[in-house]
Chains A and B, each alone.
Chain A
Amino acid sequence: MSAARPALTGTDFVEQRLRGTGTTDWRSWLLEGALLLSLLIALGILIVLVGDTLIKALPIFSERPIEFLTSIVSARPERAGILQAIIGSLTITIIVAVLAIPIGIGAAIYLEEYARDTRMSRFIRTNIRNLAGVPAIVYGLLGLAVFATVLRLGNILLAGGLTLAVLVLPVVVITTSEALSAVPNAIREAAYGVGATRWETIRSHVLPYAAPGIFTGTILSLARAFGETAPLLLVGSIAGTFNFVGPPWEQAFEGYTTLPTMVYHWSGYPQDEFRALSAATIVVLLGVILLVNASAILLRNRYDRKW
């Protein structure tokens, strides 16, 4: 035995172990390489896509950046702009924010802080997760059936907003739930321990602690609503609407268009001019989403620093 294996003690053994056996660990080297390759593939695809879009959009932004943003839809590509789409996307995002954020946060607070952990509440939780995974087009069908047809709203902006609010609601509930469940129980116990009620505990300690997570989650869900296309195509988002007649709140009951809709619309044309319009719209869309995400991060950091 002692001849087959080195002694388990002594400086020789330690030295041998520390210096290694001199052979390369091929398996870990391979694994590391494979992981790096995955990262490069993901990054590479992204760079190619964004780069291609930027190059295609370059003519628009070099020739008429302001006009592009402030003109309305036109059949002549050299005049066409995305003003209606910007207004439509922003309005829809506001509708989503007003509806989905309070309802979603409220539902999450109930689920996490009030509901007892029963089979029913677990069932509901699981299904909210499932809802978040339902394809967006299904929500479009729901919007068409419920908001546009049953509620007789028709193909108007409000119907689109409602549809997207329903779409992001489960996401808001889930992210808020996660932020709330990440609040240490010690905080709750401390508040209850000095005689706070459940609501006082939630308002004064649990919500402020969870706020950064809730902010990020809800802002990111708004970014998702901002970029969503498929459901809106079913509830009336078409290119070239918005008549700008009448006050803004009346626009909510008119036909509408959004940025992703314009991307879809223009990319259907064979001419390069329209392709360029489509690419430029993508750039605007990406820019807004990046801005929204950056503000989410800023908000989170700011709240983190408060403590």
Chain B
Amino acid sequence: MTESGDRMSLDTLNPRTQDQEQTEREEPTIRLMTTPPRLNDSAHADPAGSGDGVAMRFPDEEIVFELESLSCFYGAFRAVRDVALQVPRNKITALIGPSGCGKSTLLRSLNRMNDLVDTAHITGSIRYHGVDIYDAQVDPVEVRRRIGMVFQKPNPFPKSIYDNVAFGPRVAGFTGSMDDLVERSLRRAALWDDVSDKLKQAGTALSGGQQQRLCIARAIAVEPDVILMDEPCSALDPIATLRIEELMRELKENYTIVIVTHNMQQAARVSDYTAFLTMGEDRAGYLVEMAPTQELFTRPANRLTEDYITGRFG
């Protein structure tokens, strides 16, 4: 009874006004803490883990990435503000949120892909198996070899299917049987049956869904530890999308996957953990909450999350 009373008062006391937005923008994590859980669920919204600049913790998981007060900038513009989160191993972690909330920027900072943008820089830290990947002594090329990436638009090299897959291992100095590696990678990407008889044909001649699976094969050919996926299905039809999702579930046996998606159903279908980001009034994205996917979608701890996943945001 008290629970429902609390909820009512919360709703009436906190209409979504400009003031509230303001508060959230300045102190997002404090608000996260002060929002009472909807239900008596101690596992949910672990209060110990959601302090300012401290990641929500998953004590049962082995942690691959640990982000602490991570802010990403393009020149003077702050695209991502003070994100603290953990990415568990051999799980699929989804980043969801409205357009422009910095999901992709956050993802691209995980393998230093944003180094390619002249004006981009970060503050805070990203630890990968405990190592700060932005440390001056860390080689970004090695970071990207371990942390592969699949992009929004399928971007096979304008070369043969074989060369697409073989390029990564080649530059990494792979000395084993390249034919075997190419076949293995294509099989793991569920593409082998489609292309086994046309490995010399151009990768760009494949269909969109096949191209994206080729890109996944290319990413796993260098045997990375993590695969980052930036809206990998946004250019694909529903059937191709389902195949990629199936593939992701298989891949998480061996890889840690972080996926950015606009599609909440997709996040709900494939991911184990979901982080919801939104944009403050300074247009900087920040983390609202992160939780096991099931819980985030059924019992969001934060009002903003609930509004977003039910389609009532803004």
Contact = CB atoms under 8 A, between A and B. Distances in A.
A119 B117 CA distance: 16
Interface in B139-170: 141-142, 144-146, 148-149, 151, 153, 155-159, 167-168
Interface string B110-129: 01010010110000000000
B132 to A, nearest CB: 19
A66 interface: no
B202 interface: yes
B215 interface: yes
B279 to A, nearest CB: 24
Interface stretch (B63-71, B217-225, B240-248, B267-275): B217-225
Contact of B168 (A185, A195, A209): A195
A252 B171 CA distance: 44
Nearest to B143: A195
Nearest to A205: B157
Interface string A157-186: 000000000000000000000000000111
B204 interface: yes
How extensive is the interface on chain A, given as a class?
Answer: 20 to 34
Contact of A189 (B116, B119, B146, B156): B116
A188 B151 CA distance: 12
B148 A189 contact: no
B155 A307 contact: no
Contacts of A185: 116
How extensive is the interface on chain B, given as a class?
Answer: 20 to 34
A204 B166 CA distance: 12
Nearest to A115: B118
Interface string A187-225: 111111111110010001100110000000000000000
Contacts of B168: 194-196
B172 interface: yes
Contact of B155 (A187, A195, A204): A187
A80 to B, nearest CB: 52
A152 interface: no
B222 A192 contact: no
B185 to A, nearest CB: 11
A117 interface: yes
A190 B202 contact: no
A306 to B, nearest CB: 9
Interface string B81-98: 000000000000000000
Nearest to A190: B155
B157 A191 contact: yes
Contacts of B153: 186
A189 B118 contact: no
Nearest to A192: B144
Contacts of A204: 167, 171
Nearest to A199: B171
A194 B145 contact: yes
Contact of B167 (A116, A117, A196, A307): A196
A56 B238 CA distance: 70
A56 B119 CA distance: 61
Given A117-B118, A189-B116, A190-B218, A195 B171 contact: yes
Contact of B113 (A116, A187, A193, A307): A193
A190 B151 CA distance: 8
17 contacts: A116-B118, A186-B151, A188-B116, A191-B157, A192-B116, A193-B111, A193-B149, A194-B144, A194-B167, A194-B221, A195-B142, A195-B144, A195-B146, A195-B222, A196-B167, A197-B171, A307-B204
Interface of B: 111, 113, 116, 118-119, 141-142, 144-146, 148-149, 151, 153, 155-159, 167-168, 171-172, 202, 204, 215, 218-219, 221-222
Interface of A: 116-117, 184-197, 200, 204-205, 208-209, 307
